[in-house]
Amino acid sequence: MNDRVQLPKSRAATTEFVQPARRVAYEVIAAVRESDAYANLLLPTRIQRAALNTADAALATELTYGTLRMQGFYDRVIALAANRSVDAIDPAILDVLRLGTHQLLATRVATHAAVNESVSIAKQVGSRSATGFTNGVLRTISRSSAEEWRERVLDGAAGVDDRLAAEHSHPSWVVRAFRQALKAEGREDEIEDLLAANNVPAKVNMVALPGIATADDESLLGTKDAYAPTGYVLAGGDPYHLMTQAKGRIRVQDEGSQLAALALSHARPIESGERWLDLCAGPGGKAALLAAEARTHGAELVANELVHSRATLVRNALAAIPENVEVWELDGTRIAELHPGEFDRILLDAPCTGLGALRRRPEARWRKQPKDVAELAGLQSGLIDAALGALKPGGVLAYVTCSPHTAETRGIVATALKKWAGTVNALDTAAVVQSLSNSELDLAGDPSSVQLWPHRHGTDAMFITLLERLPD
């Protein structure tokens, strides 16, 4: 990640004032565009560097995430107000306009503050003519209400999915992919609820590592999760401070991720001495939970992560486990060749588009393209074949993605089952997940897979399938 985008110092020192929260928001938005920065990683660093107080940090967070989420809708508004395609606007100025439009249409920021400070930023990052252009476009937008702009944007939409894409600020191809995934469950009519849920900030969810977190640790957390027996919804405070205070025994982790890891450990009773593998372990959240589960039941976990920097994150995540957990840095597609038939349980949290976590990574919807799905499918198929080959006869594999796209989920599993016909069976994944849940989950479709959803379960859109390698 490159976080080099900053307003020019010499020009930033002029009399033009930009409130620190807006400056931080602009810098992060620009870095996301220019250098593929991740907002959820860069924003906390920039907030700390700018020494923002709690209120300004909250404003910077809202401005950054709100602008990135609604970028598609705002671009349509800007194109109408500027009477030109956004492709014809200087990218740095377009970032200014997006941030200004968000303040005008979705916040209580005073119009004069939104416009004037946007113009100040434009002076620092653009030309003299760009300053006048920014002022003109934002003043045009400010003369109509948010509802009036919504109606104008929707009037220009071409078809049902483009209208949904415009209103809920998703690329049209993502809308079609989500519709297809819901259709596979017979729930196509939930598409608008899903798109709306993706634009609602996610709750801060924590996990208490079983057998390792203390009662004092858990007292720092909020209410128990609706479904994950290891999870909590944080009532308030800085989650990263709590993680440090508890030395990693409690961690930030989405409830859906916890259910995905626990589906593997709960797939059948655990026998002491079992050997488990987390095949694509980075950044290590699920590995930490599985290591705690394994330790409690006398099993052993090995974590594998190909990328060295991510393997370092895995080692850090596993530091809370009292016993040493081995971390390999192997090519996962070669695991069957290197360790054939060696493991009783394997988690394959496959590299994917991440379209199931748009609440947490709002820029992902604009960064991913349909070709990414096709490219990832080859890797996902290679990894699932390798994982099945590394299973002992009778062993269990959990295939997991943080994407509901059927080409990354049901399609990969169906291909694997066809290739491994007669040697691999799909288990009743829905029954396993229901059995470990605090309360009944509203699941749909084929019970051999579980698809979690933000709008239905309040989790990331995790996909889980349990596969069993039949005994010889």
Is 331 annotated in a binding site? The answer is yes
Task: Report the DSSP beta bridge partners of residue 231.
Answer: 207
Is 21 annotated in a binding site? The answer is no
Is 57 annotated in a binding site? The answer is no
Structure tokens belonging to residue 231 = 């999870």
Is 284 annotated in a binding site? The answer is yes
**CB distance 151 to 163 below 8 Å:** no
The string of DSSP codes covering 205-235 is EEEE-TTTS-HHHHHTS-EEPSS-TTEEE--
Tell me, yes or no, if 352 is annotated catalytic: no
Task: Report the DSSP beta bridge partners of residue 206.
Answer: 232, 252
For residue 256, the tally of other CB atoms under 10 A from its CB is 28
Structure tokens belonging to residue 128 = 């003299």
Is 287 annotated in a binding site? The answer is no
**CB distance 154 to 167 below 8 Å:** yes
430 CB-near residues (< 8 Å, 6+ apart)? 443, 447, 448, 449, 450
Is 305 annotated in a binding site? The answer is yes
Structure tokens belonging to residue 380 = 């996902």
Is 282 annotated in a binding site? The answer is yes
Choosing from 262, 364, 402, 467, the catalytic residue is: 402
**CB distance 57 to 48 below 8 Å:** no
157 CB-near residues (< 8 Å, 6+ apart)? 163, 165, 166
**CB distance 432 to 445 below 8 Å:** no
Residue type, 228: A
Is 329 annotated in a binding site? The answer is no
Cα separation, 84 vs 76, in Å, equals 10
Which residues fall in the annotated binding site for S-adenosyl-L-methionine? 280-286, 305, 331, 349
Which residues fall in the annotated binding site? 280-286, 305, 331, 349
> What positions carry a catalytic annotation?
402
